[in-house]
Amino acid sequence: MILLRMASLITYLTVLVAATIPAQAQQEFPPPQGKGRAVVVVSGASGPGHYQFVTGQIAQLGYDAVLFDGNKIAGTHGAALRTAIQTALGMPHALPGKVGLVGFSLGGGVVLGYGSQWPDLAAVVVAWYPATSPIRDIADFAGRLAVPVLMLAGEDDTYRGCCLIATARNLAAAAAGKPFQLVSYPNTQHDFVYGGDHYNPQAYTDGMQRTAAELAQYLGR
């Protein structure tokens, strides 16, 4: 009985402590060579578990890929993304320097919305089917882009109206003259990554190849 009470007390204290400490949800995927430039990967609303495979593939390209929960980063006006960048740079296998930012859906909207304006922190932004609905003034937003951006979008994406191809195209048009590239995939819906609800092998493979090329161009190996 005493042991049971002690176990219950320990469980209670563990829960209490966990509730009072801000969650630091991240998972490091070290590169094969041991150390590499840091790439911050921000998940969509489905959570980081949904993006472990793609993060592992990014790590295999030679980067220290660190996966974060986009639900904990969104809604903080970029503050949590800045913290994530510093956390990634402090990882055991990370090399110093600007980071790459790769985000999906909700996380794609975060890295696009904030990271694209931080040339002191980010070398490149890759946004997969990003949430663009929060962008109210497209021309103003495009004018403030200061980091190279690659956006990957499905042309049939109607998921909650967050990531419409029309918005992506308007943004690309407004960003003419900036280092902004939009790649769209026909017959492709939201969440087309491997393991996604609308996995599209062709679009995913092409998206990964373009992501690899973009990271190599701006981060090196």
Query: 198 pLDDT exceeds 80?
Result: yes
Give the mean pLDDT of the chain: 89
User: Residue range 61-81: average pLDDT?
Assistant: 97
Q: Note the pLDDT tens digit of each residue in 114-144.
A: 999 999 999 999 999 999 999 999 999 999 9
- Could you give the domains of the chain? 25-219 (3.40.50.1820)
User: Residue range 161-180: average pLDDT?
Assistant: 96
Query: 203 pLDDT exceeds 50?
Result: yes
CB atoms within 10 A of CB 21: 8
Q: Note the pLDDT tens digit of each residue in 36-69.
A: 999 999 999 999 999 999 999 999 999 999 999 9
| pLDDT at residue 221, as a whole number | 72
Query: 15 pLDDT exceeds 80?
Result: no
Query: 110 pLDDT exceeds 90?
Result: yes
Q: How confident is the model at residue 6 (pLDDT cuts 50, 70, 90)?
A: very low
The pLDDT > 90 percentage for the chain reads 88
Residues 182-212, buried b or exposed e (16+ Cβ, 10 A)?
bebbeebbbbbbeebebebeebbeebbeebb
Q: How confident is the model at residue 4 (pLDDT cuts 50, 70, 90)?
A: very low
Tokens 């373009």 identify what position? 210
Tokens 């990370």 identify what position? 94
Q: How confident is the model at residue 25 (pLDDT cuts 50, 70, 90)?
A: low
Pairing of strands 180-185, 36-42: unpaired
| pLDDT at residue 2, as a whole number | 29
